[in-house]
Structure 1
Amino acid sequence: MKQYLVGGAVRDRLMGLEVKDRDWVVVGADPQAMVKAGYTPVGRDFPVFLHPKTHEEYALARTERKTAPGYHGFDFQASPEVTLEQDLARRDLTINAMAQDECGAVTDPYGGQQDLTNKVLRHVSPAFAEDPVRILRLARFAARFADFSVAPETQALMRQMVAQGEVDALVAERVWQEFAKGLMEGQPSRMLQVLRECGALARIAPEVEALFGVPQPAAHHPEIDTGAHLALVLDQCAHLGAPLVVRFACLCHDLGKALTPAELLPRHIGHEARGVPLLKRLSERWRVPSDCRELAELVAREHTHVHQSEAFGAEARLRLLERCDAWRRPERFEHLLWACECDARGRLGLTQKPYPQRERLLKDLQATLGIDLAAVSAAALAEGKTGPAIGRAVQTARLNALLALQARLQAV
């Protein structure tokens, strides 16, 4: 029985990167031998065991055979006779198909080290075409290793997979899982680029694909193309360290621009409301978590108002806070402003431009959150007010807080 460190851990060690997760493969053993050695079985689809001390996962070396379309259509075979090379052959990319023994010796039967040197993402074997999730994984790795290119033969294979309908068999949860990981990488725009080049984006996210080629006014968008703007916005999300909820909201913030009638171009008047049904459809199809859905809808609806808020008076800023439910959901409101800053700075030549709207609206929020609502309500009750009248008293108190803040800022 021999144990090998495999996959991403080997790749990252060779690249001099921090190893966050370690996966192991065991050659020459069966489940009974693993249990006898003190490992705990946890795998449902194939034999995976937890180490008795480190609790890291150890999988028996296995082969796989395609039996049906889609992600689940595989038959796995694990036995002591399966070799390390056979196990590595079923992996997606050459840079992920290497193993390292306890002495540090690397087994690299498919040229992973050479592809690391050349910065190439290349499939291990034609079996890559049997699992459509691998297209998403490759696109995610392209977003992580932005200076890596996709091998021409791998690009051709992915286009063939899309043409044959393999991508249409993807399970919603896996699409979201991989896409979410890609959004959190260092250059998310590369994921969109790779998926577009093979035709997969049009299949899994036609609402996003439709943005490419849609023009915008150069005065506000020097990059002109809406899809190019989206790519810049997503990379700004990475630059500013935005969380997933913000990055998904930015992905969906301009979907309505693909539906703007010709008479409302080039300013895309009303694209905010047109985008909401599209992002809801995308969210339902991918089964996106509710916090991501809710913020995406808020950003789609309100991002242009946030951009314009510097010119708003106190009453208009108060209405913006009300529409955003900012007092009950202050964290979500902060995420909205974060997304709007990414949107504003995701423009050609404007990536370093300040975004004072974010700081100012946060000050507005803090000023209105500082009101003693119990005292305002008690005073209203003492004056004989009830129901809606108390609500109006609270609104007046908040407006006065904004006016006082405005006066202080103007005096500085």
Structure 2
Amino acid sequence: MKTYLVGGAVRDKLLGRTVTEHDWVVVGSSPEEMQAQGFVPVGKDFPVFLHPQTKEEYALARTERKTGKGYGGFSFYCGEEVTLEDDLIRRDLTINAMAEDENGAIIDPYNGQQDLADKLLRHVSPAFAEDPVRILRIARFAARYHALGFRVADETIALMKTMVADGEVDHLVAERVWKETERALGEPNPEVFIEVLRSCDALARLFPEIDALFGVPQTAAHHPEIDTGVHTLMSLQQAVALSPSTCVRFATLLHDLGKATTPREEWPRHIVHEARSLPLVKQLCGRIAAPKDYKDLALMVAQWHTHCHRALELKPATILKVLQSNDAFRRPERFEQFLLCCEADARGRTGFEDREYPQADFFRAALKAAQAIDMAAIQQGGHTGQAFGDEVNRQRLQNLVQLTKSNSTKE
């Protein structure tokens, strides 16, 4: 029985990155022997055990055989004769197919160290094509290591294209697509996740609403980058700079979906694209099982972002409508997320990346002004039911009138 550190821990140690998880492979053992030594079985599909003290995962070395479509269509074999090399060749990338023994020596049968040096994300073997989740994982790794100069190897992109053409990605379950997407949104360059999926034709299968944005022109005066897809990814980059929230980043990514449905004869203008975005956001979120808070923020941003851009031109009654429609009084933290998305959209344009966005501060001031009313005094004044609500709105509107007058005086 021999134990090896494998996968991401070895990769990140060699890259000089912080190692947060340790995964181990055990060669020459059996489930019975592992349990006899106190390991606790947890694996459903194949033998994985938790160490009795550290609680880290130890998996028996295994081979796999493709038995059906999708990422779940496999049978596993974990006999004592399975070698470390047998186990490593079934992994996704060469940089994830290295191991370290108890003396710190690196076992690297598939040239992972060379690919680390060359900054290449390359598949280990043709077996890569048997698991469509790997397309999402490769795109996610590209988003993580982009800043270090990594790229996906040309032959791996070609293999991913073949997998898409063969229909493998069509068998991905929604929950797995969401899990990988959410993790990708948390990486330093989530726009690279989208770019890699597009480069292998998977974006059109998994996120057709986003894929359709590329090639759709916008008015050059407002969008020097012209292409709506390019603008979307630039906005996503800005969202990363403004917030670590994957919810903010997701909503920013979906904010302009309606522009893909603008009739060509109306290009490059996109009249009422906000309303046309809403069913597309719902459709996408439903298909990938996005959680409700992600969907709700995405719908808010899609519907109201142009109102935010025009904040300094809006009438007080419209400002109040925006605050009420977005539940800003009860959920100010979500309204703050909305403002960050709008700022990311405004900055996600060529030449506008460092531009101030006073509209967000104006809406923050508007919310504060509308909140600055004495609810108890209104109640003590005898207002109840509908009359109470009307008086609250009247005073909020009065405060917003004063704010807009004060703002116009400053200008």
The TM-score with structure 1 as length reference comes to 0.96
Q: Tell me, yes or no, if the aligned pair for 2:243 and 2:340 is still in contact at 8 Å.
A: no
Q: Secondary structure at the match of 1:249?
A: helix
Counterpart check, 1:65 vs 2:61 = no
Three-state SS of the structure 2 residue aligned to 1:18 is: coil
Cα distance in 1 for residues equivalent to 2:291 and 2:113: 38
Alignment of 1:147-226 (within 5 A): 147-226=149-228
- What does the per-residue CA deviation read over 1:118-169, in whole Å, with 9 as the maximum and x for residues that have no partner? 0001000000000011011001111111121221211111111111111111
Determine if contact 2:64/2:75 at 8 Å carries over to the other structure: yes
Residue in 2 that maps onto 1:237: 239
CA contact (8 A) 1:377 1:394 kept: no
Q: Write the distance in 2 (CA, Å) between the matches of 1:99 and 1:337.
A: 46
Deviations 1:175-222 (A, max 9, x none): 111111112211111111111111100011111100000000011111
Q: What residue identity is the alignment partner of 2:340?
A: W
One-letter code of the match for 2:337? H
Question: TM-score w.r.t. structure 2 length?
Answer: 0.96
CA distance in structure 1 between the aligned counterparts of 2:326 and 2:267, rounded to whole angstroms? 27
- Cross-structure match for 1:39: 39
Return the offset for 1:233.
1.0
Q: State the match for 2:385 in structure 1.
A: 387
Q: Which residue of 1 aligns with 2:128?
A: 128
Structure 2: distance between partners of 1:144 and 1:69: 28
| Contact 2:258-2:276 at 8 Å conserved across structures | yes
Structure 1 portions without partners, runs of 5+: none
Most deviating of 204-213 and 30-39: 30-39
* Equivalent residue, structure 2, for 1:294: 296
* Letter aligned with residue 176 of structure 1: W
Matches of 2:3 and 2:243 in 1, distance apart? 37
Structure-2 residue corresponding to 1:111: 111
Q: Deviations over 1:204-257 (max 9, x none)?
A: 111110000000001111110000001111111222233111111111110000
Contact 2:69 2:171 in 1 (8 A): yes
Moved more, 146-155 or 401-410: 401-410
Deviations 1:279-311 (A, max 9, x none): 111111111100001111111000010111022
State the partner residue of 1:401.
399
Q: Using the alignment, how far apart are the partners of 1:106 and 1:237 within structure 2?
A: 39
Which has the larger displacement, 325-334 or 284-293? Answer: 325-334
Give ranges in structure 2 of 5+ residues lacking alignment. Answer: none
Identical residues among aligned pairs (%) = 58
Partners of 1:262 and 1:157 in 2: how far apart?
34
Tell me which residue corresponds to 2:21: 21
RMSD: 1.5
Distance 1:286 1:298 in 2: 19
For 1:280 and 1:155, how far apart are their aligned partners in 2? 30
Q: Who is 1:309 aligned against?
A: 311
Kept after mapping to 2: 8 A contact 1:233/1:343: yes
C-alpha distance in 2 between matches for 1:262 and 1:33: 67
| CA distance 1:145–1:275, shift in 2 (3 Å) | same
Distance in 2, matches of 1:113 and 1:337, equals 44
Report the count of equivalent residues.
408
